[in-house]
Structure 1
């Protein structure tokens, strides 16, 4: 589903340029089913061909991630959870995914905004419990910016290294996601250990 939506959007916009990266990553960070892997890995390939630059791709994707996350944050802040739970199915947001994201946010607090960027099923929904919980805007934007930028850079590097062999991406998506999940778990473990040491 996500691959089809991404292909249709790229066909409509004509090509994958900085504006397309911004729009698609804004959608990916909101409630629309646009997988970041299908945007940033091809962008990394275009960086390798010098059709795009590292700086432009990182800035466009990070700004898009911030805009999309803020959209979800304010949507949840204004409309509340019942509205999202009722109408989210029209955007492929299930009650199960929403509950899992809320549990993750409640368990890990503000750091979940950062680590959630690396977890499938959580990445594009993590802004909603932050909005419902009225999390302060400055740490929300800060954690989102750092987490999203790091994730986008990882995907860009993968696209740059893989080059034209985009078929490899489809065959190894599970492996890439597993590495990202392990990285996020290590970050959470390190943060918890640091907090306990401070206490």
Structure 2
């Protein structure tokens, strides 16, 4: 996550464009991290609120068109074969396809606001050869609503940002301690098993 925040902080709108385009191009980058940070920076006057929303939305449409084209021209078999290299599992694709079959083309709008589905929803739209004009319109509207909500949330949370970080930090330390203990337990069990042989 630190690389994402660094990219946004140091490169501003260019960093947002890159990350959000990749997210819509089926690279699992969490917009739930990127866009609230943009709101935080907007509150600090280091970034424009509306430019951040606009750039993220355009980036989503650009990335979505790439994924749509892959679905349209390469097909499902290609996506399943090579999707694993970008973290796409059959489960991810099946979930997006279920949404598309259930809600039709409106999925492109509503799916933009559902984590996990939003990243891969362009693929079934491409498989179904949805109208490009409708696809762009629904992607634009859905992405705008999602990005506006996340940027606004980050903007409003700014005053509580440090307070939130202070409350989360003990859980981070606790999680690290549990992980170390689990690894130590696993290693000792394995050593005991080897000695028994």
The alignment of Structure 1 onto Structure 2 pairs a total of residues equal to: 166
Structure 2 residue aligned with 1:120, among 115, 118, 133?
A: 115
Q: Max radius of gyration: which structure? A: 2
Provide the C-alpha distance between the structure 2 equivalents of 1:168 and 1:152, rounded to a whole number of angstroms.
21
Q: Does 1:152 align with 2:147?
A: yes
- In the TM superposition, what is the alpha-carbon distance from 1:56 to its structure 2 partner? 1.0
- In the TM superposition, what is the alpha-carbon distance from 1:11 to its structure 2 partner? 4.3
Q: Which residue does 2:98 correspond to in 1?
A: 103
> What are the within-5 Å matches in structure 2 for residues 3-152 of structure 1?
3=1, 7-8=2-3, 11=6, 15-152=10-147
Q: Give yes or no for contact 1:105–1:129 (8 Å, CA) kept in 2.
A: yes
| TM-score normalized by the length of structure 2 | 0.78
Unaligned runs of 5+ in 1: 172-199
**SS class of match (1:123):** helix
Q: Give yes or no for contact 2:5–2:34 (8 Å, CA) kept in 1.
A: no
Q: Give yes or no for contact 2:7–2:15 (8 Å, CA) kept in 1.
A: no
Q: Which residue does 1:192 correspond to in 2?
A: none
Q: Which residue does 1:194 correspond to in 2?
A: none
- What is the CA deviation profile of residues 127-164 of structure 1, one whole-angstrom value per residue up to 9, with x for unaligned ones? 00000110000110000000001000000011001116
Q: Structure 1 9/120 Cα, relative in aligned 2: closer, same or farther at 3 Å?
A: closer
| TM-score normalized by the length of structure 1 | 0.78
Q: Give yes or no for contact 2:21–2:59 (8 Å, CA) kept in 1.
A: yes
Provide the C-alpha distance between the structure 2 equivalents of 1:29 and 1:154, rounded to a whole number of angstroms.
17
Segment of structure 1 superposing worse, 129-138 or 49-58: 49-58
> Going by fraction, where is helix more abundant, 1 or 2?
2
Q: Structure 1 78/42 Cα, relative in aligned 2: closer, same or farther at 3 Å?
A: same
The two structures, once aligned, show a CA RMSD in angstroms of 2.0
Runs of 4+ in structure 1 over 6 Å off: none
